[in-house]
């Protein structure tokens, strides 16, 4: 059975329709890349899957592990194994990273009927995962994302993912704002989490990330619809010909590639 | 007979029932009562009391509590010399009932390690409203250092009418805290009047959690080169009402003042923040900053916030700002997307808002204690 089945998904923000009929099936262990120009609806799709209430789903269905995903609160989706790595991780002054992550992990463990981790076990677990992401342990005692550099914020997202061990990870433009060294670290962390029981949706504008996180499937999104799907070679084709090669307008390409 | 005079007549009977005091005390009492009788209880027509209706106090059948009547002779030089009875009926009333005075004196140059603790515990009595006219005086000598912790607590319905005078000598450093955890049925009206010497450093944190009807006046008069900090945190829920009026009087040049008041309002609670800053004509080079931030958690809670700047000098820097906001929607979603439930996310973000004030508390034991108290308070609705 598919882990995630999206059928004819339409979503609006205010009066504006952004997703105009998305169909996508993700099986266990698969990595799907969603590519597309700015404004194509990539981030909206990621946020709708995580349960952001800013968007209204007007039509369609999403089944996650056979259950109606759209009927679930964001926290219930997370407890059932969905994880969104944010494009812009949120700064939360006054809440320590450690406290935040421990609270998150323990609610997820509780949902799996696992015992809560005490402070010692938790610390041992996070130490190991921090090494994976090449992160300073001091970041744990700081408030969530507060005063973190762009690279630290993105690494913190993947670090959280490593601790929470989701079944479906959605990476929203995880490459944006990263230099090549930070990109390698982040991609290395993501790759270490790939496995037969873990699926991923990797949302990105640029092919660059996909050199490091090699997808099984690539989908091109334009104006709220998937206009082309293929294997990893589709990303390479896009790299060469640009979105224009598929007849898609991309305002960023019009002013030159970054 | 008018309502005002009816109220003061009831108090007159209690006033005259007091045991006689020493002549200097009796004189203060007489002046206090005379002024109280002239002023009467303030109404909402009075600009200073526009949003705070004290009718439940004014109309109550009262029973003032008299202490043992011990007022140290050493207090005479400063007692009632700072908190003025002229404009505030509650200060006048408190002075009319001078009975017990909590008095501390820190000699010149002494660095006092242990905090000075001033603690008032109240409880509801039989049907008339029990009134405690809490009076404190702390006189800190030049170049001395000390910490003052005032605590107000109680159970049931009663009225605490507190006046605290703090006199800080030249070059002294004073760290003051007021923890107000009155019962949610209680009335609490308090004036803190601080007189600061040259180059003194005074900081105050007012943590207000309890009370049904609360009015705090926190006033400081600065001298040359004085540094003063007035911070506060008020947390109200249900039908609680809290009014914080602060006044920072830059009387002399080169003074610095900082003010940060943060409020958390839930339920049908109402709050007032009125921050007056006076910069006198010769108080040049004054540097003053005032901030009031409010987190409003329900659609029914109301906050009235107002800065009031009277600047008579021309070479000064004064800034002020006020914000009123809800919990950040993005932060809520971020937490929920990690599996943290809505209620717990709400509690954590509320606590985080208060954390800012907690972080500024220097007394370690108090900081830890208040951290726990607030954490529990914000988690009592779920989590």
User: Looking at the predicted structure, is the pLDDT value of residue A253 above 70?
Assistant: no
A153 contacts on B by Cβ (under 8 Å):
none
Give the rounded percent of residues in chain A with a pLDDT score beyond 70: 97
pTM equals 0.90
Asked whether the beta carbons of residue B352 and residue A51 sit closer than 8 angstroms, the reply is no
Q: Which of A50, A105, A144 is the closest to B337 by Cβ?
A: A50
Strand partners, A82: A168
A86 contacts on B by Cβ (under 8 Å):
334, 337
Q: Which of A75, A94, A143 is the closest to B336 by Cβ?
A: A75
| A131/chain B closest Cα distance in angstroms | 21
| B359/chain A closest Cα distance in angstroms | 9
Rounded Cα–Cα distance for residues B248 and B256 (Å): 10
Average pLDDT over residues B209-226: 98
Q: CA of A100: which chain B residue's CA is closest?
A: B335
| A92/chain B closest Cα distance in angstroms | 7
Inter-residue contact B181 to B208 (CB < 8 Å)? no
Is A246 strand, coil or helix?
Answer: helix
A51 contacts on B by Cβ (under 8 Å):
333, 336-337
Q: So what's the pLDDT on residue B4?
A: 63
Asked whether the beta carbons of residue B335 and residue A100 sit closer than 8 angstroms, the reply is yes
Is A54 strand, coil or helix?
Answer: coil
User: Looking at the predicted structure, is the pLDDT value of residue B172 above 50?
Assistant: yes
Q: A251 pLDDT band (50/70/90 cuts)?
A: low
Q: A254 pLDDT band (50/70/90 cuts)?
A: very low
Q: So what's the pLDDT on residue A245?
A: 84
Residue-by-residue DSSP string for B74-104: GGTTTTTSSS-SSS-HHHHHHHHT----EEE
Asked whether the beta carbons of residue A164 and residue B342 sit closer than 8 angstroms, the reply is no
Q: What are A18-51's pLDDT values in tens digits?
A: 999 999 999 999 999 999 998 999 999 999 999 9
| B340/chain A closest Cα distance in angstroms | 5
| B335/chain A closest Cα distance in angstroms | 8
User: Looking at the predicted structure, is the pLDDT value of residue B30 above 60?
Assistant: yes
Q: Which of B331, B337, B353 is the closest to A78 by Cβ?
A: B337
Asked whether the beta carbons of residue B338 and residue A89 sit closer than 8 angstroms, the reply is no
Q: B383 pLDDT band (50/70/90 cuts)?
A: very low
A83 contacts on B by Cβ (under 8 Å):
337-338
Q: Which of B330, B341, B352 is the closest to A95 by Cβ?
A: B352
Q: What are A47-81's pLDDT values in tens digits?
A: 999 999 999 999 999 999 999 999 999 999 999 99
Inter-residue contact A232 to A215 (CB < 8 Å)? yes
Q: A189 pLDDT band (50/70/90 cuts)?
A: very high
Give the rounded percent of residues in chain B with a pLDDT score beyond 90: 91
Q: So what's the pLDDT on residue A257?
A: 42
Q: Where are the beta strands (DSSP E) in B78-200?
A: 102-106, 116-123, 129-132, 135-140, 145-155, 159-168, 173-181, 187-196
Q: So what's the pLDDT on residue A255?
A: 43
Average pLDDT over residues B161-170: 98
CA angle at A54 for the pair A109 and A26, rounded to the nearest 5°: 55
A:B CB pairs within 8 Å: 81
Rounded Cα–Cα distance for residues B383 and A139 (Å): 25
Asked whether the beta carbons of residue A103 and residue B336 sit closer than 8 angstroms, the reply is no
Inter-residue contact A32 to A214 (CB < 8 Å)? no
* Cβ neighbours around B282 below 10 Å, total: 12
User: Looking at the predicted structure, is the pLDDT value of residue B366 above 60?
Assistant: yes
Average pLDDT over residues B323-337: 96
- B115 to each of A118, B138, B176, B205, how far by Cα in Å? 36, 12, 9, 14
CA angle at B248 for the pair B367 and B167, rounded to the nearest 5°: 70
Instruction: Quote ipTM for the complex.
Output: 0.95
Q: So what's the pLDDT on residue B193?
A: 98
Rounded Cα–Cα distance for residues A13 and B317 (Å): 45
CA angle at B86 for the pair B80 and B92, rounded to the nearest 5°: 60
Assigned token pair, B305: 């916030």
B353 has a chain A CB within 8 A of its CB: yes
Domain that holds residue A97: 4-254
Rounded Cα–Cα distance for residues B277 and B291 (Å): 12
B334 has a chain A CB within 8 A of its CB: yes
Average pLDDT over residues B309-332: 96
Q: So what's the pLDDT on residue A256?
A: 41
Q: Where are the beta strands (DSSP E) in B252-344?
A: 256-265, 270-279, 287-296, 302-311, 317-325
Strand partners, B311: B279
Q: A252 pLDDT band (50/70/90 cuts)?
A: low
Inter-residue contact A222 to A248 (CB < 8 Å)? yes
List strands edge to edge, sheet with A4-13.
Answer: A16-26, A4-13, A56-64, A67-68
CA A102 from chain centre, in angstroms, equals 21
B33 has a chain A CB within 8 A of its CB: no
Of B63, B62, B68, B53, which is closest to residue B21 (Cα–Cα)?
B68
Q: So what's the pLDDT on residue A133?
A: 85
Asked whether the beta carbons of residue B356 and residue A84 sit closer than 8 angstroms, the reply is no
Q: Which of A84, A95, A103 is the closest to B337 by Cβ?
A: A84
Asked whether the beta carbons of residue B349 and residue A103 sit closer than 8 angstroms, the reply is no
Rounded Cα–Cα distance for residues A50 and A80 (Å): 11
Asked whether the beta carbons of residue B356 and residue A90 sit closer than 8 angstroms, the reply is no
Higher-confidence position of B336 and A207? B336
Assigned token pair, B170: 């030249």
HEC assignment per residue over B166-214: EEECCCCEEEEEEEEECCCCCEEEEEEEEEECCCCEEEEEEEECCCCEE
Give the domain ranges of chain B.
3-326, 328-383
Q: What are A101-138's pLDDT values in tens digits?
A: 999 999 999 999 999 999 999 999 999 999 888 888 88
B333 contacts on A by Cβ (under 8 Å):
50-53, 74, 90
CATH number for A106: 3.40.50.300
User: Looking at the predicted structure, is the pLDDT value of residue B279 above 80?
Assistant: yes
Number of domains in chain A: 1
Q: Where are the beta strands (DSSP E) in A110-188?
A: 143-144, 168-172
Asked whether the beta carbons of residue A94 and residue B351 sit closer than 8 angstroms, the reply is yes
């Amino acid at each position: 059975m598919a882990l995630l089945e999206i059928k004819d998904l339409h979503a609006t923000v205010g009066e504006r329709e952004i997703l105009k009929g998305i169909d996508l099936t993700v099986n266990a262990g698969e990595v799907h890349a969603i590519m597309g120009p700015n404004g194509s609806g990539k981030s909206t799709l990621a946020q709708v899957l995580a349960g952001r209430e800013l968007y209204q789903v007007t039509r369609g269905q999403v089944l996650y592990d056979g259950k109606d995903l759209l009927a679930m609160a964001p926290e219930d989706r997370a407890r059932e194994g969905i994880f969104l790595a944010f494009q812009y991780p949120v700064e939360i002054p006054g809440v320590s990273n450690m406290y935040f992550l421990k609270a998150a992990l323990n609610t997820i463990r509780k949902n799996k009927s696992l015992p809560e981790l005490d402070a010692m076990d938790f610390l041992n677990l996070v130490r190991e995962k921090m090494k994976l992401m090449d992160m300073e342990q001091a970041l744990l005692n700081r408030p969530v994302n507060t005063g973190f550099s762009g690279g630290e914020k993105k690494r913190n997202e993947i670090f959280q993912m490593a601790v929470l061990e989701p079944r479906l990870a959605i990476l929203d433009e995880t490459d944006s704002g990263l230099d090549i060294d930070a990109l390698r670290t982040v991609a290395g962390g993501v790759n270490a989490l790939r496995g037969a029981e873990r699926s991923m949706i990797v949302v990105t504008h640029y092919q660059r990330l996909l050199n490091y996180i090699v997808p099984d499937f690539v989908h091109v999104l334009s104006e709220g619809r998937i206009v082309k799907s293929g294997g990893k070679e589709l990303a390479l084709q896009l790299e060469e010909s640009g979105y224009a090669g598929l007849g898609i307008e991309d305002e960023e390409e019009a002013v030159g590639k970054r | 007979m008018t309502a005002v005079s009816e109220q003061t007549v009831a108090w007159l009977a209690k006033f005259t029932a007091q045991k006689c005091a020493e002549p200097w005390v009796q004189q203060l009492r007489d002046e206090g009562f005379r002024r109280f009788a002239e002023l009467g209880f303030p109404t909402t027509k009075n600009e200073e009391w526009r949003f705070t209706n004290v009718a439940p106090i004014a109309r109550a059948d009262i029973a003032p509590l008299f202490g043992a009547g011990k007022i140290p002779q050493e207090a005479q030089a400063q007692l009632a010399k700072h908190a003025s009875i002229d404009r505030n009926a509650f200060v006048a009333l408190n002075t009319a009932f001078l009975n017990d005075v909590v008095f501390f004196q820190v000699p010149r140059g002494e660095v006092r390690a242990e905090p000075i603790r001033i603690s008032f515990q109240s409880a509801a009595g039989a049907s008339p409203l029990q009134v405690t006219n809490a009076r404190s005086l702390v006189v800190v000598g030049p170049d001395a250092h000390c910490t003052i912790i005032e605590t107000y607590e109680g159970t049931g319905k009663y009225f605490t009418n507190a006046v605290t005078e703090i006199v800080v000598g030249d070059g002294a450093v004073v760290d003051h805290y007021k923890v107000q955890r009155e019962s949610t049925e209680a009335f609490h009206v308090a004036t803190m009047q601080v007189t600061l010497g040259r180059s003194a450093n005074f900081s105050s944190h007012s943590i207000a959690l309890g009370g049904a009807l609360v009015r705090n006046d926190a006033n400081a008069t600065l001298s040359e080169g004085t540094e003063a900090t007035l911070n506060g945190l008020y947390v109200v829920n249900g039908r609680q009402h809290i009014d914080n009026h602060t006044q920072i009087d830059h009387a002399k040049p080169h003074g610095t003042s900082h003010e940060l008041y943060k409020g958390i309002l839930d339920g049908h609670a109402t709050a007032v923040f009125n921050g007056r800053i006076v910069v006198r004509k010769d108080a040049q080079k004054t540097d003053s900053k005032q901030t009031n931030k409010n987190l409003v958690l329900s659609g029914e809670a109301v906050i009235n916030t107002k800065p009031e700047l009277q600047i008579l000098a021309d070479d000064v820097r004064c800034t002020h700002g006020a914000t009123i906001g809800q919990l950040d929607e993005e932060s809520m979603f971020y937490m929920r997307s990690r599996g943290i439930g809505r209620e717990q996310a709400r509690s954590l973000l509320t606590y985080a808002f208060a954390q800012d004030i907690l972080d500024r508390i220097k007394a370690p034991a108090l900081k830890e204690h208040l951290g726990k108290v607030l954490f529990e308070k914000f988690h009592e609705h779920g989590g």
